[in-house]
Structure 1
Amino acid sequence: MPARNEAGNLPALVDEIAAALASRGPFEAIVVDDGSNDATPKVLAELKRTRPWLIPLRHAVSCGQSAAIRTGVRAATAPVVATLDGDGQNDPTFLPAALDALAAGGARVGLVAGQRLGRKDTGFKKIQSRIANAVRGRVLGDGTRDTGCGLKAFRRDVFLALPYFDALHRFLPALVRREGFEVGLIDVVDRPRQAGVSNYGLWDRLWVGILDLYGVWWLIRRRRQVPEVTEL
């Protein structure tokens, strides 16, 4: 879970994650503090004292959401990783459904992505997201209507095989398909943010997002064939 200035959301969210996964055997919850300048480090240190399964990590300076996710995935010890945003809008009760869908897909499915229903963002942000998703889907043909949902489950080795760049997390379905895997989709109910403010705006994503989109399009076009390897 990437988190930047989410001190007000983390205590409840960490315990919701534990409740959602309690019946599934051992787990670890890795929270990557992406250079917060609020009380996030202090809150995580306090939570860690009574939760041995919690692994708080910290970036010295903010490196972005994709970097925080990659830091967490690299630190993970399990072969399957689930992600969700640190603002509390992704409901952890949907984590088991994502993990079950990934397991049911077997080796052919590399990623299960949540798709939000009943989004609680502002009207302008919803329109912005709808346009961005429509353009992305048209250009990449990734078969996904909502890549912005932070709740996802994937095989760790598949994620680490992807080409890394800033904003990677917004293009996971297209990149996983590029590697020859299928992508599963589940509907998840969005929740309103309970504390803090969004770390994203229109202008900090628009132009960079356009460049990223065509960069991913180029990567897909340059993938000639996914090798099928057998031992002789």
Structure 2
Amino acid sequence: MTASDSASGALHLSVVVPVKNEAGNIAPLVAEIERACAGLAFEAVYVDDGSTDATPAALEAARDGRPWLRVLRHGASAGQSAAVRSGVLAARGGVVATLDGDGQNDPAFIPALLAALEEGGPAVGLAQGQRRGRKDGRFKMMQSRIANGVRGRILKDSTRDTGCGLKVFRRDVYLRLPYFDALHRFMPALIAREGFGVVHRDVIDRPRLTGASNYGLFDRLWVGLLDLAGVWWLIRRKRATPRVAEIGAPVGEASPVPVTAKDQDVGC
């Protein structure tokens, strides 16, 4: 992002990266984001989720000469979903890309996901990456297959891999979603609940660059099942969003009440 882009308000894309104790992965991943997003009006928002290693120093060093790189810090670890939400709330772009901070998600796929979102038009709210060639251990992959299989059968979200951190979505659509821990794992179903479409693109998984995982996969099975039950309840309780017009509003004045893509599609 150039200085003129920032000053003119041309910023379009915010790349949000949650990190916790990822000191060794900061510099190489920041460099990859810089290469992948070259030519785009973008910013990167790193959210340090209460790291206790050298992550803060690595982020400070990475900021040198990169005005497009912003850093937020949680005073204490609040979890991956909270870190993503902090980044989205601070984002200046109308479109947000997320990826994990361990290097397993390749930023090179961000432009393709962004193109898929924009090709779908306003009716599409999320472009979801789906990993190929998983590099996790057998136990973690088995957990993932079970979790994705159960979730898919219950929520029918047509998504093979919701755990992939590579996602590109419209910021205003994300902010309509109910917030809870593990929200990022249920985004396809919840965005569809709001009346927006979801598109999918395959991405290549990589081994983490350094270190060990700091965020578990559904962490504990019973927590994942409780989240799943809660999302299922939210979907079941969703009612059509009415299109509202103010009586006596001045001719040509935009309605202050937003309508969803679903409302627009069916002409409610």
TM-score (norm 1): 0.96
Q: Deviations over 1:67-119 (max 9, x none)?
A: 00000001011100100000100000000000000110101000000000000
Higher Cα Rg, which structure: 2
Match of 2:154 among 139, 145, 152: 139
Q: CA deviation at 1:23?
A: 1.9
| Secondary structure, aligned partner of 1:30 | strand
For the pair 1:191 / 2:206, whether they are aligned, the reply is: yes
Q: Deviations over 1:17-42 (max 9, x none)?
A: 01001022x21000000001110011
| 2:32 aligned partner | 16
CA contact (8 A) 1:180 1:226 kept: no
What is the rounded CA distance, in whole Å, between the counterparts of 1:140 and 1:148 in structure 2?
Answer: 15
For the pair 1:85 / 2:100, whether they are aligned, the reply is: yes
Change (3 A) 1:186 1:229: farther
| Secondary structure, aligned partner of 1:207 | helix
What is the rounded CA distance, in whole Å, between the counterparts of 2:180 and 2:218 in structure 1?
Answer: 19
CA contact (8 A) 1:91 1:191 kept: yes
Amino acid corresponding to residue 202 of structure 2 in structure 1: D
| 2:238 aligned partner | 223
CA contact (8 A) 1:32 1:57 kept: yes
Q: Deviations over 1:27-69 (max 9, x none)?
A: 1000000001110011101111221110011001000001000
| 1:7 aligned partner | 23
Q: CA deviation at 1:226?
A: 3.4
Q: CA deviation at 1:204?
A: 3.0
| 1:211 aligned partner | 226
| 1:127 aligned partner | 142
What is the rounded CA distance, in whole Å, between the counterparts of 1:36 and 1:102 in structure 2?
Answer: 33
Q: CA deviation at 1:207?
A: 1.2
| 2:62 aligned partner | 47
Identify unmatched segments of 5+ residues in structure 2.
1-16, 248-268
Aligned length: 231
CA contact (8 A) 2:134 2:205 kept: yes
For the pair 1:58 / 2:73, whether they are aligned, the reply is: yes
CA contact (8 A) 1:82 1:152 kept: yes
State the identity %: 67
What is the rounded CA distance, in whole Å, between the counterparts of 1:61 and 1:128 in structure 2?
Answer: 28
TM-score (norm 2): 0.84
For the pair 1:159 / 2:152, whether they are aligned, the reply is: no
Q: Which has the higher contact order (CA 8 A, sep 6+)?
A: 1
What is the rounded CA distance, in whole Å, between the counterparts of 2:114 and 2:238 in structure 1?
Answer: 28
What is the rounded CA distance, in whole Å, between the counterparts of 1:163 and 1:203 in structure 2?
Answer: 18
CA contact (8 A) 2:23 2:58 kept: yes
| Secondary structure, aligned partner of 2:208 | coil
Amino acid corresponding to residue 7 of structure 1 in structure 2: A
CA RMSD of aligned residues (A): 1.4
What is the rounded CA distance, in whole Å, between the counterparts of 1:169 and 1:55 in structure 2?
Answer: 21
Q: CA deviation at 1:227?
A: 3.2
What is the rounded CA distance, in whole Å, between the counterparts of 2:71 and 2:101 in structure 1?
Answer: 13
